[in-house]
Amino acid sequence: MTRHPAKNKLIAFVSNSAWSVYNFRMDVISNLLGQGYNVLIIAPDDAHSIYLKEAGCHFLPIDFNNKTANPISDWLFYRQLKKLYRQYRPDFIFHYVAKPNIYGSLAANAVKIPSVAVITGLGYPFAKRNWLYYTLRFLYTKALRHTNEVWFLNNEDAKVFITENIVNIEKAKVLPGEGVNTDYFSPSFERIRKKDDVFTFTLCTRLLRSKGIGIYADAARILKKKNYIVRFELVGFFESHHPDSITQEDLKRWEQEGLIHYCGFAEDVRPYLERADCFVFPSFYNEGVPRCLMEAASMELPIITAFNRGCKEVVLNNSTGYICKGQDPFDLADKMEKMINLPAEDRARMGKNGRSLVVKKFGVERVIEEYISTLNQDMPD
């Protein structure tokens, strides 16, 4: 395998927010910076862009909305990316989420820069076979033929793209999610729970309906009516313009009913995970591999999640937690009741099994190796 020196090589990451780059890819980026690569981030500006700059990245703000279907703005987005690629001449580009994957891959090909498209999840368009799905399928098929590789975070997403002839199987690669830093997300052995502590479930996620938040609230209601004294925490942020967002009224109603304790958004979720007894994630979204599940399991929390793509890969049923039926609050409540009544030593054993699984299967070191290997093989001298 030919190895290329990192010095003076510029690697670009193009995504839909500085927040997502910082939260999901910072371990990879820090490793590249440590090896002497220059890193360019192209994404809409937000509060996390300063963290990327402080880490040593070059940051270029770019305006686009990954959720709209406006051909004129998409064409302008393509032209803008092509102009930036010509101006800065990255040696290699990694694209994330739909529009950068499509228009970024086309722009990179137009200026002859090698690239990889990372499919972080299929999202809403692939859930319904409507005009948006067929439009996206056509655009993906056109764009991805020009990439060096197409990376997926689970086998099911890869199968969809291959069986529907969107991408050639020879280009497809399945990663173990985007990985998790198991040193950062490690259990705190100093915490000793008292017998009178209230049993606590925690859910940390974007506040979207398809992440199962309403199902979580309904399951809480079922358990409350059975007279269980349990705390149901929710950590996350609103996406006010997202069509799938829960409303402030929903959340207020759940809080007034005593179902949900909303903790707001947290830059660092570890304190919430440390004080929880179990992590719950009843998502029916088209997930890649949810970072929240990997983080919770890495901190030795037993998990309850839905039988859903990306989610079920992180849980071994009855060993590291429980898998519940999708969109079924009664089955979720049944699994939560089972977890409440489980002896503490059995829950602790589940948590340890879960961390072992994450360390073995989802440690970020494996993902970093894929990036480095790809750059060594495919980047021009």
Looking at 57-71, 236-250, 343-357, which range is the least confident one? 57-71
pLDDT at 227 over 80: yes
Average the pLDDT over 305-324 and give the result.
95
Distance CA 94, CA 73 (A): 22
Average the pLDDT over 151-174 and give the result.
94
Closest alpha carbon to 96 in 75, 73, 66:
66
Between 190 and 209, name the one with better pLDDT: 209
pLDDT at 117 over 50: yes
Average the pLDDT over 172-189 and give the result.
91
Looking at 75-79, 190-194, 247-251, 348-352, which range is the least confident one? 190-194
- The set of residues, in sequence order, having a beta carbon less than 8 Å from that of 6 and lying 6+ positions away, is 32, 35, 36, 37
- Per-residue pLDDT band for 130 (boundaries 50, 70, 90) equals confident
Q: How many CA atoms lie within 13 A of 37 on its CB side?
A: 25
What does the pLDDT read at residue 72? 86
pLDDT at 207 over 50: yes
pLDDT at 62 over 70: yes
- Per-residue pLDDT band for 239 (boundaries 50, 70, 90) equals confident
> Residues 332, 213: contact at Cβ < 8 Å?
no
- Per-residue pLDDT band for 122 (boundaries 50, 70, 90) equals confident
Average the pLDDT over 225-254 and give the result.
92
Distance CA 204, CA 213 (A): 10
What does the pLDDT read at residue 380? 64
> Residues 298, 185: contact at Cβ < 8 Å?
yes
Q: What is the pLDDT of residues 14-49, one digit of tens each?
A: 999 999 999 999 999 999 999 999 999 999 999 999
Mean per-residue pLDDT of the chain: 92
What does the pLDDT read at residue 242? 79
pLDDT at 131 over 80: no
Domains, the chain, ordered by start: 10-179+363-378 (3.40.50.2000), 199-362 (3.40.50.2000)
What does the pLDDT read at residue 124? 60
Distance, CA of 168 to chain centre: 24
What does the pLDDT read at residue 70? 75
Average the pLDDT over 209-217 and give the result.
96
Average the pLDDT over 320-337 and give the result.
97
pLDDT at 1 over 60: no
What does the pLDDT read at residue 243? 82
Backbone angles phi, psi at 291, to 5 degrees: -60, -35
> Residues 212, 281: contact at Cβ < 8 Å?
yes
Q: CA separation (Å) from 223 to 204, 212, 347? A: 20, 17, 19
Q: Which residues of 233-267 are buried (b: 16+ CB within 10 A; e: fewer)?
A: bbbbebeeeeeebbeeebbeebeeeebbbeeeeee
Q: What is the pLDDT of residues 73-113, one digit of tens each?
A: 899 999 999 999 999 999 999 999 999 999 999 999 999 99
Closest alpha carbon to 121 in 158, 147, 95:
158
The number of residues in the chain equals: 381
- Per-residue pLDDT band for 152 (boundaries 50, 70, 90) equals very high
> Residues 70, 92: contact at Cβ < 8 Å?
no
- Per-residue pLDDT band for 2 (boundaries 50, 70, 90) equals very low
The tokens describing 275, both together, are 């004080």
pLDDT at 192 over 80: no
Distance CA 124, CA 158 (A): 16
- Per-residue pLDDT band for 263 (boundaries 50, 70, 90) equals very high
- Per-residue pLDDT band for 125 (boundaries 50, 70, 90) equals low
